[in-house]
Structure 1
């Protein structure tokens, strides 16, 4: 509930600063749906994809710091493959590049899961290794250059195109959210994730294959990061191994926390994570719209996380509401009736 309240408050601030056009969509000359809030949603798609994968990982009491590097690797593979082809506009070339990038990033994610589940390496350490090495791998793929894709290539439609006036990235995000929600809420997978994250030892004794589930969620997280890299590279028409997806892992963790998923594992909220991503995207625009410099972004994000964490804390809510609670009054017992002998005296 509280993330929704904060999102509505941010929207209200933006409407007060820029007018109602902030929330009202419009149709651009090219037939695509536009407007300030629609642009926020479209721009937030790569972060949302990564945050959804991160939510599943955190549900198993893990963490993935390598998603930014995996983002860069996926973008580098796709752009370099297309640039090296003789015909960048060929559909086969684009599909091959996309498939190759997704397969590689999924394998990288699975490797993170193997290091955590099979080798017993702490998640923060296992993924930190790839976080450091990943951008170097992306630079090796691109030869230290920034591969660029022609604007006429169908690949650019992935990040810039529209279907039924709605930007394609928003369609992709909606499909990813729906697929993960169905898998985790309509099958036993969600219960197994919460069981593994909430009590790993009890899960093991119950016969749950926690190692396989751990590898699976890291694989999905890597796949989501690779897809995010494809959308980011498609939108820009290039892949920057150094700056592509830089520090996006921190924003993803912030979104998960804002959405109400505990870092200790167990229960998770995909819809809450989605709201957290939109809050972050809206907050970035709010800072500009109210006249603050962009240097306030990190401070503002920290303040929002702090406020949401307090509002979601049962102890803090109890402390705030304590003065408003009525203290039950002690019952006054009526004196016992005098005994007959005492009354006769």
Structure 2
């Protein structure tokens, strides 16, 4: 009898940890919404502010969604901030100059194709030159920052930007800002890609066990190139929306402010519903959690440093719980 009880105890503890790891971040999000609603009812708990939160996190969500595709394979893309900065600047500058004579939509297409080229270059360096994704994308980020500053001569583009490009950040569909719509489309497409296509399942297989995936015939090098290309396209789209919101093409500092939060959102998401596994729904929860924290504390008048403290604490707890479940699954 005593042996049975002793054997049951670890299972009970595992269930508690598993429950917290799966639902802890969602519970934290709900509790934060309730807390801020009670503290700042008029300012926080209204549809206008909730839409405002979605608008505030839209660019972060776009970048984090693309990053999540890479993380499913265990690839760290540190170049997304620099890609976003350069891509947004080129979209607005080339749009203002009517570069290539293809009109605003033609310019956007070319900038997105340029993002694919950057992603392919990252993928080739990682897959065929054997450089770790961490180092390769860090180096790419430095190169792209230099290109942006050199090509722009550090000058911001503010005049002659076509309204079609500005609408990416300033238009509305009823009460819904266009960045929120773009965010929803990107996350829905990438969710479907990862969860409902064979390529997405192959990416998860590579991230889970690359050796087994290779033996099963999965082309790991090809998928690394694909993942980094998707991440680059999302980064350019996010950077373009960010510049369109303020109506200016800036050659520096646009994407860098989202880099760490994008990783934080993805890692918080990996501790949501499916601990230890990166997925788009989890990333969305992570993005919303960060957005509610920033918005709620700002409305309360809290000092900015509290936002960093709270976000860091939640990230540590989420990753700890996710790691604990993963280790227990492996019998460690």
Q: Same fold (TM over 0.5)?
A: yes
C-alpha separation between the residues in 2 aligned to 1:151 and 1:216?
A: 31
Give 5+ residue unaligned stretches, structure 2.
Answer: 1-22
Distance 1:113 1:312 in 2: 28
2:113 equivalent among 100, 103, 111? 103
Deviation at 1:112, TM superposition (A): 0.9
Q: Within the alignment, does 1:234 sit opposite 2:244 as a pair?
A: yes
Whichever structure has more helix as a proportion of its residues is: 2
> Which of 78, 102, 111 is residue 91 of structure 2 equivalent to?
78
Matches within 5 A, 1:201-216: 201-216=211-226
Corresponding residue of 1:11: 33
Q: What are the equivalent positions in structure 2 for 1:44-59 lying under 5 Å apart?
A: 44-59=57-72
Greater mean deviation of Cα atoms: 265-274 or 198-207: 265-274
Shift of 1:240: 1.8
Deviation at 1:150, TM superposition (A): 4.7
- Aligned-partner Cα distance in 1 for 2:159–2:238: 17
Tell me if structure 2 keeps the 8 A contact 1:2–1:312.
no
**Matched residue, 1:291:** 301
Give the Å deviation of 1:17: 2.4
* Preserved contact between residue 44 and residue 296 of structure 2 (Cα < 8 Å): no
Residue range with higher mean Cα deviation, 213-222 or 239-248:
239-248
8 Å Cα contact 1:102-1:223 kept in structure 2: yes
Q: Report how far residue 105 of structure 1 moved.
A: 1.4
TM alignment of 1:1-345, pairs within 5 A: 1-19=23-41, 22-25=44-47, 35-85=48-98, 93-150=103-160, 153-260=163-270, 267-314=277-324
Scaled by the length of structure 2, the TM-score of the pair is 0.85
Mapped to 1, the partners of 2:267 and 2:221 lie a distance apart of 24
Residue number in structure 2 paired with 1:334 = none
CA 1:288–1:189: 2 relative to 1, 3 Å:
same
**Cα distance in 2 for residues equivalent to 1:266 and 1:196:** 14
- My pick for the range that moved more, 12-21 or 149-158, is 149-158
Cα offset, 1:24, TM superposition: 2.4
How far residue 288 of structure 1 moved from its aligned partner, in angstroms, is 1.7
Deviations 1:201-244 (A, max 9, x none): 11111111111011000000000000001110110111222211
**SS of structure 2 residue aligned to 1:103:** helix
Distance 1:21 1:47 in 2: 23
Question: Which string of whole-angstrom CA distances, capped at 9 and with x for unpartnered residues, describes residues 89-114 of structure 1?
Answer: x9x52212211221111211121111
Q: Give unpaired runs (5+ residues) of structure 1.
A: 26-34, 319-345
Q: Which moved more, 1:291-300 or 1:67-76?
A: 291-300
Distance 1:99 1:310 in 2: 41
* RMSD of equivalent CA atoms: 2.4
Question: Deviation of residue 182 (structure 1)?
Answer: 1.5
1:49-82 per-position Cα deviation (integer Å, ceiling 9, x unaligned): 1111111111111100010000001111111112
| TM superposition score normalised by structure 1 | 0.82
CA contact (8 A) 1:17 1:289 kept: no
Distance 1:266 1:191, change over 3 A: farther
Larger Rg, first or second structure (1 or 2): 1
Matched residue, 2:13: none
